[in-house]
Structure 1
Amino acid sequence: MPGPLSVCRLRLVASGLAIAVLASCGGAASEPEQHTAVAPPAATEQAAAARSVADIPVDDLQPAPDAHRVGMWTPLANWPLLAIHANVLPDGKVLSWGSSLSESEGAKALQFAQWDPSFGLQGTAHEVFPSPAAIDSFCSASTIGVDGLVLIVGGNTFWKTAQWDPERSLLVARASQMHQPRWYGSLVRLPDDRVVVVGGNNIERPPAAYGDTPEIFSAAEGWRPLLGARSPEAFGAVDGRWFYPRAFLAPDGRVFGISNDLMWRLDTSGAGQLEVLGTAPHRLGVTGTAVMFRPGRILLAGGGTATIHSGSASAGAAVVDLRGDLPQGRPVAPMKHARNHLNSVLLPDGKVLVTGGTRYGNAGDTAVYAAESWDPDTEQWTELAPAAEIRVYHSVSLLLPSGAVLNAGGGAPGPVFAKNAQVYFPPYFFKQQADGTVTWADRPAIRQASAYAGYGPGADSTIRMADWRRIRSVALVSLAAVTHGHSTDLRYVPVPFWQKGNRLRLRFSEFGPAQVPPGHYQLHVVDDQGVPSAAAIVEFRSGAGNVAAEGTASQSSEVWPAQRALDGVLNSYASTEDWQHDPWWRLDFPSSRPVAGVMLFSRQEQTCSSGEDCPGDLRDVTVSLLDDAGVAVWSSELLNPQNALQSPGRLNVDVRHAAGTAVRARSIVVSRRSDVPAPETDETGHALSLAEVEVREGPVNLALRRPARHTGTLYGMYAGLAVDGNYAGELGSKRLSLTVRAYQPWWEVDLRAVRQIDSIRLWGRIDTCCAAQLDFYVLVSDTPFPTVSLADELARPGVRSYHVPSLERRRAVDIAMAAGQTGRYVRVWLNGENSLALAEVEVFGR
């Protein structure tokens, strides 16, 4: 049956500043061929299949006399909300969320703003959207997932998981929720496309609960706790170690982190394992910042206090090197200014920029206005131009694709409520001429680049520049996902390359997914004068978990073979004939499998202008899942009707989110609906072109919407509410199954057939009075349970029992079944006298 759909588009951004002069000069990394300079147009062209996104207009902004030494800030401008969270999106726009109300007025993050830099800092550059699900994402964590959506977890609604869909400008609430509270948690994307969350707590609502157990997320499977990695020492109450741990993917594939001053290392395989590594070379506290300035090397700076509002800041800095068996730390030169609540940004030339902060606590009278940068080559700091606003707690700073830096937010609580922003242009934007005047620098420009990249042999990629100037360096900088002085796994990766004329061959084949984790990166090119290009945004994809290649493809007609959509190469494509009516593409597996998600990529070699309907666009598409008999068991809604998404780069069909479970299917059919009566009257064509199709498996919930019963309903909360796909655990939600108070009450679901059962997950009540009340048995049987005593059922032949003495302050408990466990009936039986409350019961199997 049709259900909600998550849709995402990828754009390649290679935009330049709209300045008057963008001339070019010759040069190459190896012995160059000399060429005459070619002046590019004022707006940078895009790669094939890219969409043009102009950058911040600066026509009326005159360079300051010292801008070539200290940089320059734009005038202060209004921002639609207090930006306590900000992300650069794959199309180069900036998503921010926060509050329009101060703390005294009841600050909540119920609004989202998308900023288009091409319109500058004026009010019309912003679009503001409310949270349709009333999810309060104040003090949450975020990253961009494998599906291109912004994953947002925790915050004031600290169990919740949401995703921002950039295409539809919509916040989508996911059903899957975390097992522990994650107010002030941190995310890291892993080499296999999954995401791990560490740290956080429950806003100190009594009784206090801490996110001491990391959890793993994928859209196909939801959340799974790493029970073997539980660490109250690394993520507990002491020294605020639950507060946004600074965490990074290390070169060995493990996650390295610092909680206040405690270093730790997390192995996410299996049940997980966490190793405490000792004291860091610099105490970050909860107010310091950290960035991976080179692969495996992290700069720590500032902070030092264990509380937000008090304590003298540190000017100290240190480097931690993760490239050996054990991390090695050493101090480096201190900053020019001591800073709490500072933000750090990685620049295209490899330097680290820090902005904002206070010398004491969160006090405005000790605010630091001057920016400063750290050079990894000299390990020295340089003071730069001062900003105009106090940037304290809840402020953000991030690198824009242009190479400029956005500064916003601060307050709630604090000495200001800074609903404003500035943009900083580092010194590389400027050049001092022979007569002493300072002008905008002549910048290199990327003309063509691929939107996607991979790993290993064959991953090398060529980009075309606007001219033949000599290039000094190429680097990847991960897209910012910043809050509270920390951007999710922010890293700078130099790219080996060789140059011939205006073409650069990038040796991506030297990278693995631990060095360059899957995700989106700004690709910057720096010329021999130290001037960077605007970025092309490139997505590295690992294809982890994609099972599509295990099937065989066919299609309704053939221009390019159907199997091309399964070759893992995004610059080739399968295609039907241009003039075919209602074309289709089909994938058949040798046997049925649990399909959780399908991702469709459109071909890159489109030549249509923005908004034009290309013949091979992913428009008017439906995805259907067929069983062994070829009967449709699930179908999506019509995707991208009439090209409403304006030629998207991909469509993501989240089967599990739409259906509440993975769906077992043998075949997947992608069909495009024609919108004219007959092919001969069509002038635009009906080709279905697919660069790639990816399929991911997930768990099948056998209990979803199956018949359920229990021993007496209380407050109208009937047994079926525990199998409705809703995880709400508060009594006030009225979404719990709740029995009358009794001795050994029970709840039961009928799976309608004897099935193979792999595991059972039970979600309990989370009200503070009753979060850990359950001491219960889970009984599984092929035959019905007579309504007799618990003791009798435990002893009855054919019944297998699993005892859970406590939820241990977790929202949910996972129970692994014995090998070969089958069952039709699952009963949860409370051991004692009370009401039995269950938010959800999931039975996974086949």
Structure 2
Amino acid sequence: SLEYDLETGDKRSLPLKSNTFCSSGSFLGDGTLLSTENFSDGFSSLRTIQPCQDKKCQWTEKPKGMTTNRWYSTSTTLSDGTVFILGGSNQSIAVNEADFNNPTFEFFPKNKKKPGPQHFQFLVDTLPFNLYPIVHLLPGPKDQTHLFIFANQDSIIYDWTTNKVVKKLPQLPGGPRSYPLTGTSVMLPLRPEDNYKAQILVCGGNTEMDVNHEATNSCGKIDLSSDNPTWEVDDFGGFKRVMPDGVLLADGKVLFLNGAGTGIAGYTRKGNILQADNAVLTAVLYDDNKPLGQRFSKQDTSKIPRVYHSVATLLPNGKVFVAGSSPQASIVTKNVKFPTDPSYLSSNAPRGTITSVKNSSDINQKPIKVSYGETVEVTVELSDESQKFTAAVVHYGELAEF
């Protein structure tokens, strides 16, 4: 692993003893990055690294840090700053099976009252397509104890403090969306004018375990603030896509890019290493404020195919950083970084500049502590007083297959 300076391009090596291929991870409340599980040398390891300004921080590794083996699990930061680690299989496997399924969850740091793995029936019911389950922390109730959890075609609202299913949601039409028939998901922006209602968007995937089968061209959106939530099905911007990446942008829209038009996620150890083909090079933009059927618009086309193990993430300057892609383990790609300028950066409209947050002008230089429910003052410099200004507060997760 390495630390990359977006402004200078400088790189700092961060050596690891364990193989992080196909790991998962999340950030703790203090900004520490947690990476879970590993390939080939055990499946229960944990790795942590805390951000630093002096460029001296390194990984701390615990080979048996988890209570059980996990492969293709999901990690999610909770409202109390801890991490919820869910599911996976207990060994390397292409498609989950009952004999290898690990339908449990645990916490990091370990929960003293419940230190061992806790059974999670939902991951029994959603076999075989339940690896890398989709998990979103929801904005309510007051203590933010509810999670949206999706696997295969099914989803629930779950209270992680009581270990109870709060609500079982309708099945999403259009086939499985979980590994290796991998789709992607985002929680749409939480807006004060909508009372911060939680809306989940799930897109892409495939319906068959066939490397030549066309990917899914559909998305489902569900409004969890409704008394009886239902899925609203849309197309996927005119493209069939498995292994897409979705990025929430600074203007509240969602950029979808990368992925393949045919096949599935994963790799093979021998023979034809490609499990997916027909890379989708054109990005699409999703605007949930527009009517159904008009929400997607085509964006620019890349020259670089990015499928299995590709990633995309929003940068502080509003651009999107895109990297990676390999159909097989132990493949290194060089000179393939691709910073993407969303369409809002292509216009001639003046851009506002955030000059201070909570009376601190050291933006991106040191942590700014904010308490839950606290009002935070942000100072913005505009070239035109009539200019409309939008910004996004984004919680970064770790990307693996998507």
Q: TM-score, normalised by structure 2?
A: 0.79
Q: Which digits, 9 at most, give the CA deviation of each residue in 1:369-412, with x for residues without a partner? A: 11111111115211111112111111111111111111111114
Give the 3-state SS of the residue equivalent to 2:108 in structure 1.
strand
Aligned residue in 2 for 1:351: 253
Q: 1:331, 1:418 → 2: CA distance? A: 37
Q: 1:207 to 1:353 in 2, by over 3 A?
A: closer
Correspondence for 2:355 among 447, 468, 474: 447
Aligned residue in 2 for 1:210: 101
Give the 3-state SS of the residue equivalent to 2:337 in structure 1.
strand
User: Which runs of structure 2 are paired with 1:21-60 in the superposition (5 Å)?
Assistant: none
Aligned residue in 1 for 2:268: none
Q: 2:113, 2:256 → 1: CA distance? A: 36
Aligned residue in 2 for 1:376: 288
Aligned residue in 2 for 1:319: 221
Question: Counterpart amino acid of 1:113?
Answer: L
Aligned residue in 1 for 2:159: 267
Aligned residue in 1 for 2:28: 145
Q: 1:183 to 1:406 in 2, by over 3 A?
A: same
Question: Counterpart amino acid of 1:342?
Answer: P
Q: 1:312 to 1:225 in 2, by over 3 A?
A: farther
2:135 is aligned with 1:247: yes
Q: 1:381 to 1:281 in 2, by over 3 A?
A: same
Give 1:187 deviation, angstroms.
Answer: 1.2
Aligned residue in 1 for 2:379: 464
Q: 1:307 to 1:116 in 2, by over 3 A?
A: farther
Preserved CA contact (<8 Å) 1:214 1:230: no
Aligned residue in 2 for 1:197: 85
Give 1:213 deviation, angstroms.
Answer: 1.1
Aligned residue in 1 for 2:3: 114
Q: 1:384, 1:337 → 2: CA distance? A: 12
Preserved CA contact (<8 Å) 1:212 1:234: no
Aligned residue in 1 for 2:346: 430
2:287 is aligned with 1:367: no
User: Which runs of structure 2 are paired with 1:401-800 in the superposition (5 Å)?
Assistant: 401-413=316-328, 418-419=333-334, 420-431=336-347, 441-450=349-358, 451-456=368-373, 459-467=374-382, 469=385, 470-485=387-402
Q: 1:222, 1:154 → 2: CA distance? A: 23
Question: Counterpart amino acid of 2:4?
Answer: W
Give the 3-state SS of the residue equivalent to 1:159 in structure 2.
coil
Preserved CA contact (<8 Å) 1:217 1:224: no
Which protein has the bigger helix share? 1
Question: Counterpart amino acid of 1:268?
Answer: W
Aligned residue in 1 for 2:269: none
Preserved CA contact (<8 Å) 1:179 1:223: no
Preserved CA contact (<8 Å) 1:285 1:306: no
Preserved CA contact (<8 Å) 1:178 1:223: no
Question: Counterpart amino acid of 1:348?
Answer: A
Preserved CA contact (<8 Å) 1:254 1:266: yes
Aligned residue in 2 for 1:256: 148
Q: TM-score, normalised by structure 1?
A: 0.39
Q: 2:213, 2:68 → 1: CA distance? A: 30
Aligned residue in 2 for 1:839: none
Give 1:365 deviation, angstroms.
Answer: 4.8
Residue identity (%):
25
Q: 1:347, 1:446 → 2: CA distance? A: 16
Q: 2:98, 2:221 → 1: CA distance? A: 38
Give 1:230 deviation, angstroms.
Answer: 3.9
Give 1:232 deviation, angstroms.
Answer: 4.2
Question: Counterpart amino acid of 1:290?
Answer: S
Give 1:361 deviation, angstroms.
Answer: 0.8
Question: Counterpart amino acid of 1:289?
Answer: T
2:124 is aligned with 1:233: yes
Q: 1:352 to 1:320 in 2, by over 3 A?
A: same
Q: CA RMSD in A?
A: 2.7
Aligned residue in 1 for 2:201: 299
Q: Which digits, 9 at most, give the CA deviation of each residue in 1:158-205, with x for residues without a partner? A: 211110233233110247632332211111122222211112113347
Give 1:276 deviation, angstroms.
Answer: 4.8
Give the 3-state SS of the residue equivalent to 2:344 in structure 1.
helix
Q: 1:388, 1:164 → 2: CA distance? A: 34
Q: 1:207 to 1:462 in 2, by over 3 A?
A: closer
Q: Which digits, 9 at most, give the CA deviation of each residue in 1:715-757, with x for residues without a partner? A: xxxxxxxxxxxxxxxxxxxxxxxxxxxxxxxxxxxxxxxxxxx
2:71 is aligned with 1:186: no
Q: 1:222, 1:166 → 2: CA distance? A: 29
Give 1:447 deviation, angstroms.
Answer: 0.9
Q: 1:203 to 1:306 in 2, by over 3 A?
A: farther
Preserved CA contact (<8 Å) 2:315 2:321: yes
Question: Counterpart amino acid of 1:218?
Answer: P
Q: Which digits, 9 at most, give the CA deviation of each residue in 1:39-85, with x for residues without a partner? A: xxxxxxxxxxxxxxxxxxxxxxxxxxxxxxxxxxxxxxxxxxxxxxx
Preserved CA contact (<8 Å) 2:27 2:397: no
2:19 is aligned with 1:130: no
Query: How many positions carry a matched residue from both structures?
Result: 353
Give the 3-state SS of the residue equivalent to 2:394 in structure 1.
strand
Q: 1:177, 1:313 → 2: CA distance? A: 37
Give 1:277 deviation, angstroms.
Answer: 3.6
Q: 2:20, 2:228 → 1: CA distance? A: 36
Preserved CA contact (<8 Å) 1:177 1:223: no
Aligned residue in 2 for 1:290: 185
Q: 1:365 to 1:483 in 2, by over 3 A?
A: closer
Preserved CA contact (<8 Å) 2:25 2:397: no
Give the 3-state SS of the residue equivalent to 2:377 in structure 1.
strand
Ranges in structure 2 where 5+ consecutive residues have no aligned partner: 191-197, 265-273, 359-367
Preserved CA contact (<8 Å) 1:319 1:331: yes
Aligned residue in 2 for 1:158: 43
Q: 2:160, 2:30 → 1: CA distance? A: 21
Which protein has the bigger strand share? 1
Give the 3-state SS of the residue equivalent to 1:396 in structure 2.
strand
Give 1:228 deviation, angstroms.
Answer: 5.4
Q: 2:38, 2:320 → 1: CA distance? A: 26
Give 1:222 deviation, angstroms.
Answer: 10
Give 1:443 deviation, angstroms.
Answer: 1.7
Q: Which digits, 9 at most, give the CA deviation of each residue in 1:775-827, with x for residues without a partner? A: xxxxxxxxxxxxxxxxxxxxxxxxxxxxxxxxxxxxxxxxxxxxxxxxxxxxx
Q: 1:216, 1:187 → 2: CA distance? A: 9
Give the 3-state SS of the residue equivalent to 1:475 in structure 2.
coil
Q: 2:90, 2:128 → 1: CA distance? A: 16
Question: Counterpart amino acid of 1:187?
Answer: S
Q: 2:210, 2:189 → 1: CA distance? A: 29
Preserved CA contact (<8 Å) 1:113 1:129: yes
